[in-house]
């Protein structure tokens, strides 16, 4: 143990693999140096944290920060400000930018833009396409590569891969776990007539549960054929959960706070197109099934699917309205409110947002509070009641579907590799984000 630490955080309830208990945490440089009763330890700085809980840094494995090319909605700086403001210490960002992130050059450009400009640590998915299949083994191993992401349904035009032969080639080629947006494109095209002009509540009628189930079954079948690992993103239906429950050997499952929290038809009556997502927010039956799957262990991780659009883009007439909502900043308070309501335990929340991402993606030195790991910490006040507001949102688009929602449980502090980046609502450190390291890819 070091004679003198850079920081000791005292008296908080620490949540890690061996449960919850009041402990001190000492930080030296970027790493956790000691955990326990550190009453005699000397440190350059101390924080008294009695009454607070310290969680392993929350990792959001699905965000869209829009840079380059769509910076009017968001960029890497504003998106990462939103992340740390909400207690998130690392993010995996999606490839549907302009240009698309599908080559070594476009990935390297994102890394260059992000380093020491993002406030949290980062990795970037590389889009899997018909054209870059032969390069996937190389792309999976590059610095900051989170692996391959494939869009099976038209959520984002130029990255669409809807032919089974192309999907088969991608599944045959991957070595790391690949992530998929699973909706069947042929069914979506055939049902476009079900969209009612000016009525966003018709969105889940158009993009129905069968469209999701067809694609998920196709994907899992190919994963089983090739013995490859797949991650099915933002599951929104009871039908998929019933299927995935019995097909977990190669497939892992993500759910989102909005599919756990919002419910049709009420959300469309109240929010209109601001509740419009792909796949859609559905009715009470599907929401209940998602919760049941989470509570029974079918669900592996929680991702926000933070996908900001401007008010102008959301205020078009449906179906010209854009699908997506903000979420990275509200993930922690929304889910802590569910913890306080008894819908899941704090330990399960930590597993979904820290331990789970580490296991699934082979993240190095993150995802748990342990000596030698990065000092990534999400400090929360489980008893604090607050009201989420648009004014609090750091995202460039400056709105949240949870504006005016009162929650119990709030992020107090965000530490990224030992640096106090956010404290009591203020971002207090310059941006010093670095690439996340992976056991099967880039090693930091």
**What's the confidence (pLDDT) of residue 2?**
57
pLDDT digits (tens, 9 = 90+) for 83-120: 999 999 999 999 999 999 999 999 999 999 999 999 99
Rg (CA), the chain: 21
Please, which pLDDT band fits residue 158 given cuts at 50, 70 and 90?
A: low
Whole-number percent of the chain with pLDDT over 70: 98
**What's the confidence (pLDDT) of residue 181?**
96
Identify the CA nearest to 9 among candidates 72, 64, 51: 51
**What's the confidence (pLDDT) of residue 236?**
98
Q: Alpha carbon 28 to chain centroid distance?
A: 28
| C-beta of residue 40 within 8 angstroms of C-beta of residue 77 | no
- Residue found by looking up tokens 């929304």 in the block: 334
A 10 A CB-CB count for 262 gives: 22
Mean pLDDT of 252-280: 98
Q: In the annotation, is 305 catalytic?
A: yes
- Residue found by looking up tokens 């207690």 in the block: 87
Mean pLDDT of 362-373: 98
**What's the confidence (pLDDT) of residue 443?**
82
**Does the predicted model carry a pTM greater than 0.85?**
yes
Phi, psi values for residue 390, rounded to 5°: -60, -35
**pLDDT at 234 > cutoff 90:** yes
Residue 69: both structure tokens together? 């090319």
> What's the mean pLDDT when you consider all of the chain?
96
Whole-number percent of the chain with pLDDT over 90: 94
**What is the rounded CA–CA span in Å between residue 98 and residue 18?**
44
CATH-assigned architecture of domain 58-361: Alpha-Beta Barrel (3.20)
Identify the CA nearest to 55 among candidates 100, 25, 96, 85: 25
Strand partners, 407: 386
**What's the confidence (pLDDT) of residue 154?**
64
**What's the confidence (pLDDT) of residue 308?**
98
**What's the confidence (pLDDT) of residue 163?**
85
| 69 torsion bin: left (phi>0), alpha (psi -120 to 50), beta (else) | left
Phi, psi values for residue 204, rounded to 5°: -75, -15
Which residues have C-beta within 8 Å of that of residue 288, sequence separation ≥ 6? Answer: 238
**What is the rounded CA–CA span in Å between residue 110 and residue 92?**
12
Sketch the domain layout of the chain as residue ranges.
58-361
Angle at 13 between CA 60 and CA 45, to 5 degrees: 85
DSSP string, 179-225: EEE---HHHHHHTGGGPBTTBGGGHHHHS-HHHHHHHHHHHHHHHHH
Mean pLDDT of 401-422: 98
**What's the confidence (pLDDT) of residue 159?**
75
- Containing H/E element for 252? strand 251-255
**What is the rounded CA–CA span in Å between residue 356 and residue 349?**
10
Please, which pLDDT band fits residue 79 given cuts at 50, 70 and 90?
A: very high
**What's the confidence (pLDDT) of residue 17?**
87
Q: From the candidates 121, 184, 305, 351, which is the catalytic residue?
A: 305
**What is the rounded CA–CA span in Å between residue 92 and residue 65?**
10
A 10 A CB-CB count for 163 gives: 12
pLDDT digits (tens, 9 = 90+) for 213-232: 999 999 999 999 999 999 99
**What's the confidence (pLDDT) of residue 162?**
77
């Amino acid at each position: 143990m070091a004679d003198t630490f850079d920081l000791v955080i005292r008296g908080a309830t620490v949540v890690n693999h061996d449960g919850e208990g009041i402990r001190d945490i000492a930080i030296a440089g970027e790493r956790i140096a000691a955990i326990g009763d550190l009453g005699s330890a000397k440190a350059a700085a101390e924080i008294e944290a009695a009454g607070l809980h310290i969680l392993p840094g929350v990792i959001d494995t699905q965000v869209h920060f829009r840079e380059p090319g769509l910076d009017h909605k968001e960029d890497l700086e504003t998106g990462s400000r939103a992340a740390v403001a909400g207690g998130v210490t690392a993010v995996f960002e999606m490839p549907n930018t302009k240009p698309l992130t599908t080559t070594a050059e476009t990935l390297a450009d994102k890394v260059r833009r992000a380093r020491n400009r993002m406030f949290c640590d980062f990795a970037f998915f590389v889009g899997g396409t018909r054209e870059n299949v032969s390069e996937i083994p190389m792309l999976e191993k590059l610095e900051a590569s989170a692996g391959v992401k494939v869009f099976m349904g038209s959520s984002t035009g130029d990255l669409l891969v809807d032919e089974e032969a192309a999907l088969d080639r991608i599944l045959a080629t991957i070595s790391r776990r690949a992530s998929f947006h699973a909706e069947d494109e042929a069914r979506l095209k055939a049902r476009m007539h079900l969209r009612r002009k000016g009525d966003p509540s018709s969105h889940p009628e158009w993009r129905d549960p069968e469209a999701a189930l067809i694609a998920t079954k196709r994907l899992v079948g190919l994963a089983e054929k090739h013995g490859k690992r797949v991650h099915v993103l933002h599951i929104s239906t009871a039908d998929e959960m019933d299927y995935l429950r019995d097909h977990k050997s190669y497939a892992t499952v993500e759910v989102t706070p909005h599919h756990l929290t919002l419910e049709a038809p009420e959300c469309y009556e109240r929010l209109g197109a601001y509740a419009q997502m792909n796949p859609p927010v559905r009715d009470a039956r599907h929401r209940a099934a998602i919760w049941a799957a989470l509570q029974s262990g079918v669900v592996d991780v929680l991702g926000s699917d933070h996908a900001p659009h401007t008010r102008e883009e959301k205020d078009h007439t449906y179906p010209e309205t854009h699908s997506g909502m903000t979420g990275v900043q509200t993930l922690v308070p929304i889910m802590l409110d569910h913890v306080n309501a008894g819908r899941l335990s704090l330990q399960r929340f930590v597993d979904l947002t820290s331990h789970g991402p580490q296991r699934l993606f082979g993240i190095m030195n993150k995802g748990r509070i342990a000596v030698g790991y990065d000092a990534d910490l999400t400090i929360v006040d489980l008893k604090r009641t607050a009201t989420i507001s648009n004014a609090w949102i750091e995202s460039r688009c400056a709105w949240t579907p949870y504006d005016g929602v009162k929650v119990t449980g709030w992020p107090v502090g965000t530490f990224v590799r030992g640096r106090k980046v956010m404290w009591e609502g203020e971002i207090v450190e310059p941006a010093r984000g670095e690439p996340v390291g992976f056991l099967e890819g880039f090693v930091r």
